[in-house]
Amino acid sequence: MPFNLGIRAFDQVFHGEGRMRRSQRQVVYDESVIDVQEISNPAENIAALPLVIPETLPVDSLRYRYLKRALDIVGGLAMLAIFLVPGILIALAILITSPYPVFYSEVRIGRNGAPFRIWKFRSMRPHVPHRAHVLQWRMDKRGHDPRVTGIGRFLRRWSLDEVPQLFNVLRGDMSLIGPRPIVKAETYYYKHLLSFYLAARPGLSGLWQVSGRSDLDYDARARLDADYVQNWTMMADLKILWRTIPAVLGRVGAR
């Protein structure tokens, strides 16, 4: 089925941004026109060019819609059973060590631009500093984020704060594997590659997660997500799922 952005969802997410437009079932990222003849080395500067994604992608296939969904349900239920007792202990630890709610919820951007509410174990204080500071901490995870609590640092180090997203997977908002979900403000930084992010269902883990995670800059993250969407296969998902285990245990890029 051709990739086509949800009508109302897209308008809600990107209304007033002036950065993207729809055209004949494709998504075009509007930037100032670049003359290819002015680029000294097109191979090295291809990321600077505006991009239109193909009308169809591997993530438009029946395998992605049904086979991947079946894997998400079976895998999600299995992981939920495994993390049930640890999840209860984490909830108790948060209640004992902080006066804040156990769960944290935030609106993220899903497939076709549809917003959905993501769930995590709370790892930060519910303090709302200046919006620019929040975005800076979110973008540069290599730096110190003063919002993170003591137990939150432990949860993040082992990616345990993400466990409640298994419910998002079972609901169909997310998949076990896919681009990590982003907030509206982050869509700008995907630039010409945003269309690829929007084409797939966000994932609990993904290519970025097993390739360095917070050790990578945002441009590298966007390129990894685009590569995943363009070359998606069930075998690729299984490989990423397998690579997630040593990445989490080795705390690769965890902040």
Q: CA torsion sign, 181 to 184 to 188 to 192?
A: positive
The predicted pLDDT at position 202 comes to 97
The predicted pLDDT at position 14 comes to 44
Residue 166, pLDDT > 80, answer yes
| Mean pLDDT calculated for residue range 150-159 | 89
| Mean pLDDT calculated for residue range 3-18 | 41
- pTM value is 0.74
What is the bridge-based pairing of β-strands 175-177 and 203-205? parallel
Q: What is the mean pLDDT of the chain?
A: 77
Residue 109, pLDDT > 50, answer yes
How sure is the predictor about 15, in pLDDT bands with cuts at 50, 70 and 90? very low
Q: How many CB atoms lie within 10 A of CB 18?
A: 8
Query: Hey, where are the domains in the chain?
Result: 59-249
Least confident interval from 3-17, 60-74, 235-249: 3-17
| Mean pLDDT calculated for residue range 136-163 | 77
Q: Compute the distance between CA of residue 251 and CA of residue 80 in angstroms, rounded to an integer.
A: 21
| Mean pLDDT calculated for residue range 183-210 | 92
Q: What is the pLDDT of residues 31-81, one digit of tens each?
A: 333 232 333 333 344 344 345 556 789 999 999 999 999 999 999 999 999
Q: Compute the distance between CA of residue 28 and CA of residue 53 in angstroms, rounded to an integer.
A: 8
Instruction: Evaluate whether 207 touches 224 at the Cβ level (below 8 Å).
Output: yes
State the angle between helix axes of 150-157 and 84-97 in degrees (0 to 180), rounded to the nearest 10: 160
The predicted pLDDT at position 85 comes to 96
Q: Compute the distance between CA of residue 73 and CA of residue 147 in angstroms, rounded to an integer.
A: 33
